[in-house]
Structure 1
Amino acid sequence: MVDRDTLPLQYGPWALITGASAHTQPLPGTGEAYAHQLARQGFNLVLIARNAQHLNLLAETLHNKYGIQTRTVCVDLTDPDLWHTLKPQTIDLDIGLMVLNATYTASGEFFDVSIDAKQQAIEINCTRTVEFIESFGASMKSRGRGAIVIVSSIAATYGQRNYSMYGAIKAFQQNLGEAIWSEFRQHGIDVITALPGPIKNANFRRIKTHKQFFAFGVEPADVASISLAHLGKGPSVRISAFAHGIFWLQRCLPRRIIVAVVERYIGWLYRS
């Protein structure tokens, strides 16, 4: 059953989600969690991701469960023809809410990560973020209403060994999101940047200490619900006890200590 909310009336009838299909049973992805929560509130959905099988299955599930309309766009965000594929699928839609959730992590020691992987991380997390906001944000501005959710990370707020690119691109997203939150309010557009701690998703099944890790992790559904609930309330929101703990440590300790603490934690997490 659909719990019709005021958000579609406030922002517009369609929502768009990037990175919508990544999941491994029984763990849903963050994009999938956003899809279910927005569909439950009555939004029709444009779902964008690379995996056509997962994407189409999710769209069918959402339609059958909530009675909403869906459009799927199976595309890699690094595809140079991305906008030629995407624009015809969305040009006739009043997209009132956009969730920028797709991400790519180029992890490893800086010199061990290829320049191609570094550039791909920048393209997906930085360039495409700007392009989506430029394209769909302009339409929101012309209508005088809209909402944008940028899924960043608490890792945006500190340097992290072996994840230098990840922290850097997430910091870009955080600073961009907080800046346009200030700019876009005058146009009737709400912006929120989510800063979750470690998320309990399929990526961390690869970690040998994933059971201990999950004790610190946050559910994808909580990332979605908390960030959506904070639309219109502020530029960014920290999600999970881990994220709040990092925030308070940063208020009390020098940054070199924070970097060292995170390095020890990551070393414990990935210990062999």
Structure 2
Amino acid sequence: MPSQEHDRPPERLLVVVEAQQGPGRLALREWWNYRDLLLILGQRDLKVRYRQTMIGIAWAILRPAATVAVFVVLFGLLQRKPTSAGVPYAASAITGLLTWQLFATILGDMSESLVKNQHVLTKVYFPRVLVPIAAMTVGLVDYLVALLPAALLVLALGVRPGWAILWFPVWLFGTLLWTLACGLIFASLNARYRDVGHVIPFLLQIGLFISPVVYESAAVIPDKYLTLYRLNPLAVLLDGLRWSLVGAERPEPISMCICAAIVVSVLFAAWRLFHQLDRTLVDRI
């Protein structure tokens, strides 16, 4: 007579993978464990962007260069150059447009990253936040590639950066943090509401003109409104980058402090929002 032990069905191993319960639980150790995946996602996005293009990554240089040429001609016809005294307009404009291209490219890529990778997100587990972070790769590489010819143009125009150039990494890091904060918010919302993807190009079009991209704040905005205008963190970051690279007017210390506070606060809020939506992301995407 067979024993009862042989009649029992084999035990099954049940593995439950739970999403992180809060932004503080996403340990650095887990990030480190998935570092290879982050690199793979970034490399894939970069290859896809310039696949089957004739000039490839050279588009990173041509886009801002063509835009600068348009605005140089435009303000030349208007006989008004919205820059500080002694700063060539082309040097000021290329600095602003490169930074804006960095912000706009990353924001657009991050907002669509979760939707474009839903086939991966619904099959395997990994920290979901790695997807929008990896989407920053293309914009950052474009910026770094275009930075060298932009620097040569600035030097050719007679601009010689001073000691303020040491602040350039700080301003660039701040710009990336602000872009990350905005990108996480829009990526989270776009995963639930597809209307967000249609709103972003409209917001970027407005932002191009309400931010000091093709002009300097101090040269256009009246002094009595300047502090209020610089509540827009991007205005402070753009002016700060211009100050460090081409010697334009430096933002006031109070504006710099307010900008830092806003960037950190919004980044923290964006982080919490992303992880709250992450719990039901796979079911709703």
TM-score w.r.t. the length of structure 2 is: 0.30
The structure with the largest alpha-carbon Rg is 2
TM-score (norm 1): 0.31
Greater share of strand residues, 1 or 2?
Answer: 1
Higher relative contact order (CA 8 A, sep 6+): 2
